Chain A
């Protein structure tokens, strides 16, 4: 007899028949009927029509029947809320039952019925069950609080269930403790500031005791909870570590990884010279290795986490290279991860082994894996210098296999090797050139073109090679087009005599026939460079390139720190901070490793929590320049609602803009250019537009400057720097923007002067920022409602908010802006004074200041000299106060005034300063301490700017 009989249907119609059976008098028949209903439910059939009939079966002594009805109720109550009320009485009665199993079952099921009306009735039974004498009922009730919170959070708070739940952390039964912790953790996720899991040494002790006795799942919850605790000192940290280490031998891999997380985090607090520290490091390796012999899915998650661990502490696994060797029947997702870790662990000691393995992998079947293996060989060459030669010869061997994708990958990595070790391996270029035809992937084509351009002087037929690429220029991808443009310009600078035609051809292809603004812009830049100053062009284009770094794909340190605190979570699998992707976790708290920074985050008031998190851990790795450009280009530039006159003048403007770059290549090419008709037509005669714009008055901007200085600036007492030109007219087809950032009564403004120095009317202005370090973003659209006629100047103030997307910039106060008008989109970057971000409430309590100063580790302190400043300490203090830099205390020691100052950034970061002023000495010394030491440089510059003006 099997359950498959429940799936057989008859002609009469299933529902009809089931209805009859459910209402049968015979118990056995009823039960069979309910089973049939459940069976249909499990395969996704809709049997909600039977609701009243099934609920009628609920009043029964038969536990199995009762459970089955409960199963049904949980699934369908939501769709039939009024009917579900019918069940309430039975639940309430069952909660009083003598059998604890029934009490627990009732409270558990009631919590799963996600109907508001039922929850009202749930409160009383739940309150009783939370204090039930039987721990089985208590532990079920603890989970029920989490369920109820999910349905009606307010109700749970009003009824005081959260406090009862907190009390359960001290329960005598470890299972109850574990469930209470699990429930609280889940609730806390939606309440980031609730301080629900208020961890203190007493609760930690209770958790550690429960840890030894509860189930494996409970251990995971407790360990994850422990990881949020910040020990008071290294002794406490060590004692927790000691009590957690036995978990590393647990059979459940999730327990092991959660234990690893706790240890990795608390280890930061241990002094490195401690014996125990070394012991702990040694203890971490075996469990991690063991995880790799588990099922492939577990391996995958383990590998993603190991990837983080080796970046943070490579010493743990440095001798375990072999366990990462790929087996041919590993699933592809495991293979790729293993490869990644192999490269991270590669060192001079093991490089021979690694290379032999990689070479083996390069002949496997799976294309993705082979590609990655080839790329890995290149990375080894770059990472371990001693192996470079062997790597190159391995790559050449692989090229000889002539397998298309292997050759292409090899060429891409050889390009990087060339960059890392210039003038060393160029002898292989000839071999590479043989394979030119077989390259069909953009990345490989671009790499090859780069090589040809870079070593044009050594390749006899470089011009022919590049010319062959030029034929299908418009069908190439942007990457290849850009590379080709650059390569030909390089070639031209190296061999100007033979390649004039080629360079003209590519420049006109790039600037005239292409729709791609990047390509056009680069084309224009080269064109202008070549036409104005060929010597400078040579210096720019053929400049020495910065060396590429040894490690690639490293995770940015602050992100890595945060991820280490999230070992074992989804965040660690995706290598992204939780805030970046977990839905429903509103305002996740950012975690930092204790030892290095942020151990006393509690000093900050919780209301800045969400903002504070943002810059402490920029959510993305700093992308390369290319990505930045991409970001800017992707910005959505919506024009303001007011529609200006149609850009009738646009074509003319376009022409004018080209003339900007005009001037011809005459100087470089002699008279030749005139003879080339194509060039003459496009770029020959300069119309009068440009000279006019050069003469355009700049006084508008200057007047403003004085206005500012005399008016608002003084009353506020804050220093406002003069406006600077951000976007010269030359660069923006006649639009000049100068501006300044100011902070006025708590509002950050970007005050701009826009001047039209072109011949045509400008309208439809819009502005957009790239992601930046402090999340600056326009708080509203750019208010320029009237079109800007030629030679007109207009003032615009743009209020800014600090809640935009965040990305760490270099320098920190760099802001990339895109401005659009009816003509084009222009990009510029500017730097804002960091004082703009200083909040008015940045005055710290004296006690807090003292404690915080001590708390911030010394390596976060930086010292600067401010020279030639002739203010006395009081004047300086007053002046600084205008910029929201508050003096908390002043001390005079041996004729030296020490000012203790604090300021608070919009994202909640505090900066503490000690300013030493010696009478008669114009040089001040300033020491800055901050948990985010990156900002110190900016703050210092700001001090200097304020004090000297």
Chain B
């Protein structure tokens, strides 16, 4: 099971350690630092490392490494999932997962870690349960605590811990009862030089924000549930109901949570909202190249494409770019060789265009690698797969809640090859 945890910043300083069994010297991290050195980019550090006596399993999130040490055969996915849960919890408690925030709240973090794992076995990882045991810091509470000598640690057994619905705490009360759902779809796609889609799929998620009194039992139905053939649910969703009726039936956790993830695969046709006409070429002779990019709408379901942004990772030899954009601004980050063109709203009447010349390091050979374009975009009010919620019903409680569903489509990993 998980033996120890080290939090390490990008510079390679260990700024927090927690041991659930015996103390393991932090020198064990040297193996990790070695691998980190070798990987150059922090993203490329292998997540599972073998050392003579331990295994190091790490994740890289928000510019921090969460490094766990294990000694026996443990499912690595279990460890990785848990580490992500730790990062989620820290984010949930302090608003963001950063070194300075963790340092500012080090004792709370330490208490949380102790509560989350016992002898390497996960104990309480549900945000609802944790918050009952260790209250998140608020300015008001810390003032009250100093005055009264109260504490941040709950002294009652969290109700959710043992019930068959561990995700929800009992006795929830709100004056405004509301349930909001965001259906967010991200398009992952690879489009090749000629504009043909090599691969496209949709990663969908339904994020929920539910503030309802008591023990509400919700049912959500879809207009077109047949789209959903590959789903993963929050533990609150009753799988049997889904199998038989294709309806999501659940007693929700209190607050924010992810109700469901789904995946619409490349087998189904995935609509690509924009097309990109591009031409990036480098001359055989002379230290320069030419670039010309135009973007236009394709399948947008009648909605406007917003927050368009194109990111291009240039070959190392490109020194500067001298371009004109008909819409938006562009910046070229010389250090990272990244060109960012921030377009904004896409106007179908006047297509945005970026063209001009690129200058190369003198004497450098013609770059071998072709830059790849990464597209960012947003389309409000539509789920590109066509998924639509038809009803949301509540049983078990008498009041009438506010209900709302929002849709959003965005680009996930949307890549155009040149």
A interface list, Cβ under 8 A from B: 1-4, 6-7, 27-28, 31, 35, 38-39, 42-44, 62-65, 67-68, 71, 75, 78, 99-101, 108, 111-112, 114, 134-136, 140, 143-144, 146-147, 150, 173-175, 179, 182-183, 186, 189, 213, 215-217, 220, 224, 246, 249-254, 256-258, 286-287, 289-290, 293, 295-298, 300-302, 319-320, 322-323, 325, 327-329, 331-333, 353, 356-357, 360, 363-365, 401, 403, 568-571, 573-574, 578, 581-585
Contact = CB atoms under 8 A, between A and B. Distances in A.
A44 B16 CA distance: 8
Contact of B118 (A27, A44, A143, A360): A143
Nearest to B203: A293
Contacts of A570: 48, 55, 73-74, 76
9 contacts: A3-B106, A64-B151, A71-B110, A249-B232, A250-B233, A251-B258, A293-B263, A300-B48, A356-B198
A354 B126 CA distance: 43
A228 to B, nearest CB: 13
Interface string B309-323: 000010110000000
User: Which 6 pairs of residues, A with B, have the shortest CB-CB distance?
Assistant: A2-B104, A64-B151, A286-B230, A64-B153, A297-B47, A254-B77
B40 to A, nearest CB: 10
B156 A290 contact: no
B293 to A, nearest CB: 17
A832 to B, nearest CB: 35
B78 A217 contact: yes
B166 A329 contact: no
Given A3-B108, A301-B48, 8 more contacts: A134-B157, A182-B121, A246-B243, A250-B235, A254-B75, A295-B59, A571-B73, A585-B73
Interface stretch (B356-364, B365-373, B377-385, B390-398): B365-373
A31 B234 CA distance: 38
Contacts of A189: 72-73
B125 A217 contact: yes
Contacts of B413: 327, 329
Interface stretch (B17-25, B280-288, B344-352, B402-410): B17-25
A112 B374 CA distance: 50
Contacts of B126: 215
B226 interface: no
Contact of A215 (B19, B166, B267, B313): B166
A352 to B, nearest CB: 12
Which residue among B50, B110, B146, B258 has the maximum number of chain A CB atoms within 10 Å of its CB? B110
B14 interface: yes
Nearest to B186: A293
A565 to B, nearest CB: 12
A164 to B, nearest CB: 17
Contacts of A258: 75
B416 to A, nearest CB: 10
Contacts of B239: 246, 249
B46 A300 contact: yes
A249 B110 CA distance: 32
Contact of B80 (A4, A43, A186, A297): A297
Contacts of A63: 151, 153-155
Contacts of B417: 360
B105 A3 contact: yes
Contacts of A573: 48, 76
A668 B142 CA distance: 98
Contacts of B249: none
Contacts of B263: 286, 289-290, 293
Contacts of A585: 72-73
Contacts of B34: none
B178 interface: no
B71 interface: yes
A333 B38 CA distance: 13
Given A39-B106, A331-B44, A403-B368, A568 B16 contact: no
A287 B262 CA distance: 10
Interface in B37-63: 39, 41, 43-44, 46-48, 50, 53, 55, 57-61
Contact of B17 (A31, A42, A99, A256): A42
B295 interface: no
Contacts of B18: 42
Which residue among A100, A249, A356 has the maximum number of chain B CB atoms within 10 Å of its CB? A249
A670 B232 CA distance: 80
Interface string B161-204: 11010100000000000000000000010101000001101010
B415 interface: yes
Contacts of A289: 230, 263, 265
A861 B235 CA distance: 48
Contact of A295 (B14, B53, B80): B80
A676 B103 CA distance: 81
B119 interface: yes
Contacts of A183: 121
